């Protein structure tokens, strides 16, 4: 061996030892016809064959019978010859007959004259990742089916409420005083809004697979509607609410409304037992984005996109019983998801000309 050849031979030997010792990848070579000529430790671990059992065999034995009958092994080699490499995911077969989900890369090897001398084949066992993805897909499908079932059960009584309220308005509205007519409209509009909320929750369950529906939003009207509903529900215990200038923006109307409903609902609950309680809703601008906040003196909250800011230090509100705070944990979880989700929509301030 010449002096110049010795370092190169040592490097080649080191590389061979490195490849043979890899445990997480099956790395081996094929001759131009697809017969196995090398075998590493990862191939033995993943596929189950010892070198003396598999060397010289055709690599098509790793394919399921139906894939081999379709000619997939030959097709994959042909694509590698044509394009230089081919990558594929699918089931492969171990020595014991069990199947695993594999990512396979086959690369054509050529000499200095461009003649095909063989292929390298690298296989990863992705069975766990495939199982996790399948489980997630099933969970999404089950959640969507459950959501549709629940929404159907909820829509029927809502239609009845809305329909009877509308009938009362049309048939008996003139005989009612102004307050009675207003309350009937509130009942009808609340039923309609509940239907929209159900539709929004259904959309929320599918958000992993579809984009948010962005439309121009009148934030002032949204907040005023939420506040009016909360005042009716609190029956005279509502705090003073100051609504500042809220610029219009764009975003998903149902989700944005739900965010304000949760933030303001908690502000009302925590402020209900305080004298001269005050809740403020305002907005600012941060790098071209609308930043809305709900501020009270009880419980600060901050999130990107929609923020609830800390006011001056003050005494905490007295602890409310669970009767005054129904489903609060569920509301917080929903609020966190809504805020973080809508932050991805990056609502921006819309300036009037």
Domain at 211-353: CATH code: 3.30.565.10
Quick one: CA dihedral 333, 336, 341, 345, positive or negative? positive
Could you tell me if 29 and 51 are in contact, meaning their C-beta atoms sit under 8 angstroms apart?
no
Question: What would the mean pLDDT of 140-167 be, rounded to a whole number?
Answer: 80
Q: Which residue has the tokens 């002032």?
A: 220
Q: Which CATH architecture has domain 127-210?
A: Orthogonal Bundle (1.10)
What residues does each domain of the chain span? Answer: 5-125, 127-210, 211-353
Task: Give the number of other Cβ atoms within 10 Å of residue 15's Cβ.
Answer: 10
Whole-angstrom distance, CA of residue 293 vs CA of residue 296: 10
pLDDT in tens, 321-337: 333 333 344 344 444 44
Could you tell me if 206 and 144 are in contact, meaning their C-beta atoms sit under 8 angstroms apart?
yes
Least trusted range by pLDDT, from 3-17, 51-65, 176-190, 261-275: 3-17
Least trusted range by pLDDT, from 20-24, 248-252, 298-302: 298-302
Quick one: CA dihedral 311, 317, 319, 325, positive or negative? negative
Higher pLDDT residue, 34 or 250? Answer: 34
pLDDT in tens, 97-148: 999 999 999 999 999 999 999 999 999 999 999 999 888 888 878 877 777 7
In CATH, which superfamily holds the domain spanning 5-125? PAS domain (3.30.450.20)
Taking CA 256 as the corner, what is the angle to CA 253 and CA 261, rounded to the nearest 5 degrees? 120
* 304 band by pLDDT with thresholds 50, 70 and 90: very low
The DSSP result for 259-307, as a single string, is HHHHHHHHHHHHHTTSTT-EEEEEEEEETTEEEEEEEBSS--B--SSEE
Mean pLDDT over each residue of the chain, to the nearest integer: 76
């Amino acid at each position: 061996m010449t002096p110049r050849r010795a370092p190169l031979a040592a490097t080649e030997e080191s590389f061979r030892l490195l490849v043979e010792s890899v445990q997480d990848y099956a790395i081996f070579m094929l001759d131009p016809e697809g017969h196995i000529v090398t075998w590493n430790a990862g191939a033995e671990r993943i596929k189950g064959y010892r070198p003396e059992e598999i060397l010289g065999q055709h690599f098509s034995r790793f394919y399921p019978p139906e894939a081999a009958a379709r000619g997939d092994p030959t097709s994959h080699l042909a694509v590698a010859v044509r394009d230089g490499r081919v990558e594929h995911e699918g089931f492969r077969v171990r020595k014991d007959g069990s199947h695993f989900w594999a990512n396979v890369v086959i690369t054509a090897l050529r000499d200095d004259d461009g003649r095909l001398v063989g292929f390298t084949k690298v296989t990863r066992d992705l069975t766990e990742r495939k199982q996790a993805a399948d489980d997630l897909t099933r969970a999404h499908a089950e959640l969507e089916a459950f959501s549709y079932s629940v929404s159907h059960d909820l829509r029927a009584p809502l239609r009845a409420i809305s329909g009877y309220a509308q009938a009362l308005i049309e048939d008996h509205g003139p005989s009612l005083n102004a307050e009675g007519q207003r309350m009937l409209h509130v009942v009808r509009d609340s039923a309609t809004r509940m239907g929209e909320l159900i539709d929004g929750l259904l959309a929320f369950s599918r958000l992993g697979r579809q984009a948010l529906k962005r439309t121009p939003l009148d934030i002032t009207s949204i907040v005023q509607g939420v506040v009016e509903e909360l005042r009716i529900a609190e029956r005279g215990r509502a705090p003073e609410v100051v609504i500042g200038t809220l610029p219009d923006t764009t975003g998903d109307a149902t989700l944005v409304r739900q965010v304000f409903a949760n933030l303001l609902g908690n502000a009302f609950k925590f402020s209900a037992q305080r004298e001269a309680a005050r809740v403020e809703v305002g907005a600012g601008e941060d790098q071209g984005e609308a930043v809305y906040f709900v501020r009270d003196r009880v419980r600060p909250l901050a999130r990107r996109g929609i923020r609830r800011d800390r006011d001056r230090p003050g005494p905490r509100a007295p602890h409310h019983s669970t009767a005054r705070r129904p489903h609060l944990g569920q509301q917080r979880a929903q609020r966190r998801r809504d805020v973080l989700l809508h932050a991805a929509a990056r609502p921006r301030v819309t300036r009037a000309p």
